[in-house]
């Protein structure tokens, strides 16, 4: 079984490794989705994170909720930027998920300043998300994002609104970059002070696909070997203050959960640099400037 930790101030103890609904983005059948649920139950995973942008992910998760809603902390997102579109999209997500509320509703991929200005401005999507909380359609509100600059954007967002969770990338190679490491830790410090949950993504990223044949549903090339996945997952878990959203690939999911279930100690930096060199790990967001 996988360790559980308090998910910020929500009152819920979530498994350190969460299920990322992006695994269902590329045409998963209901049978495949149902089989994935069995894997989650096997490892005791009790937190699902999905989004409208993940294809039919919400539709595939919906049938599970009729029987298993009480076993999962359920999170989705809105990628809309204006109030009206976000309001309508939130209700559509609830219909697709077959629930009357979610536990966490997140502003999706908030990395670009233009998006930020619209979402936080008058008649922006944040107004619709806050309204959803007031109406009981969500209990908590979060924000997510990718890229080298997301830590700076999250700091800006946390100055404007008291979010219950944030999500941003974390893997050893990104953390080796001094600028990203500094920004990441600044966000962590704010979240620790406010008891805000921190979710991480891209933990098993090896690099961009480039010329390699794309044989996985992840948009980056992931680690494939169990020992490599173990090392990457254990390095993130060893922090003790973040959660891991599992990679968006159904076939890799059991390897990620198996790694998380066997965690004992964090690999040191020498072991991680050895992995980077052995697998030719490279930045998935390009070279930081």
Across 91-114, b (16+ Cβ under 10 Å) vs e yields eebbebbebebbbbbbbbbbbeee
Domain span including residue 250 = 4-278
Structural domain includes residue 285: no
CATH code: domain of residue 235? 3.20.20.100
Query: How large is the average pLDDT for residues 33-56?
Result: 96
Sort strands 73-78 and 102-107 into parallel, antiparallel or unpaired: parallel
For residue range 63-108, list pLDDT tens digits in order: 999 999 999 999 999 999 999 999 999 999 999 999 999 999 999 9
**Mean pLDDT confidence for 237-259:** 96
Q: Confirm whether 209 is domain-assigned.
A: yes
The answer to whether residue 212 is domain-embedded is yes
Distance of alpha carbon 264 from alpha carbon 130, whole angstroms? 40
- 163 vs 134, 142, 166, 198, CA distance in Å? 15, 5, 7, 11
Strands 243-245 and 197-201: parallel
Residue 143 lies in a domain: yes
The answer on pLDDT for 28 being more than 70 is yes
Let me know if residue 288 belongs to a domain. no
Alpha-carbon span 68 to 72, nearest angstrom? 7
HEC string of 172-201 equals HHHHHCHHHHHHHHHHHHHHHHHCCEEEEE
For residue 150, being part of any structural domain is answered with yes
What average pLDDT does the structure give for the chain?
96
pLDDT 10s digits, 121-171: 999 999 999 999 999 999 999 999 999 999 999 999 999 999 999 999 999
pTM: 0.97
What is the DSSP pairing of strand 138-144 with strand 102-107? Answer: parallel
Whether residue 116 lies inside any domain: the answer is yes
> Tens digits of per-residue pLDDT, 98-120?
999 999 999 999 999 999 999 99
Note the pLDDT of residue 276: 98
Number of domains forming the structure of the chain: 1
- pLDDT at position 172 over 80: yes
Domain-located, residue 159: yes
Query: In this model, does residue 289 exceed pLDDT 80?
Result: no
């Amino acid at each position: 079984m996988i360790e559980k930790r308090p998910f910020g101030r929500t009152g819920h103890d979530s498994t350190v490794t969460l299920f990322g609904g992006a695994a269902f983005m590329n045409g998963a059948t209901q049978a495949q989705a149902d089989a994935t649920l069995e894997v989650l139950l096997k490892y005791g995973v009790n937190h699902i994170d999905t989004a409208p942008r993940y294809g039919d992910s919400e539709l595939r998760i919906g049938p599970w909720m009729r029987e298993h809603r009480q076993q999962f902390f359920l999170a989705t997102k809105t990628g809309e930027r204006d109030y009206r579109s976000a309001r309508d999209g939130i209700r559509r997500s609830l219909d697709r998920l077959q629930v009357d509320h979610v536990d966490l509703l997140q502003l999706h991929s908030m990395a670009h300043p233009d998006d930020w200005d619209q979402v936080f401005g008058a008649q922006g999507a944040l107004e619709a998300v806050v309204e959803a909380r007031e109406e009981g359609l969500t209990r908590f509100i979060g924000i997510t994002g990718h890229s080298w600059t997301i830590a700076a954007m999250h700091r800006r967002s946390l100055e404007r609104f008291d979010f219950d969770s944030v999500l941003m990338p974390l893997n050893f190679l990104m953390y080796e970059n001094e600028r990203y490491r500094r920004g990441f830790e600044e966000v962590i410090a704010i979240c620790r002070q406010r008891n805000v949950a921190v979710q991480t993504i891209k933990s098993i990223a090896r690099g961009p696909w480039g010329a390699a044949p794309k044989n996985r549903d992840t948009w980056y090339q992931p680690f494939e070997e169990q020992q490599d996945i173990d090392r990457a997952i254990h390095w993130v878990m060893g922090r003790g203050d973040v959660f891991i959203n599992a990679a968006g690939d159904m076939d890799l999911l059991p390897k990620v959960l198996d790694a998380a279930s066997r965690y004992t100690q964090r690999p040191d930096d020498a072991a991680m640099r050895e992995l980077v060199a052995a697998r030719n790990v490279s930045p998935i967001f390009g070279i930081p400037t």
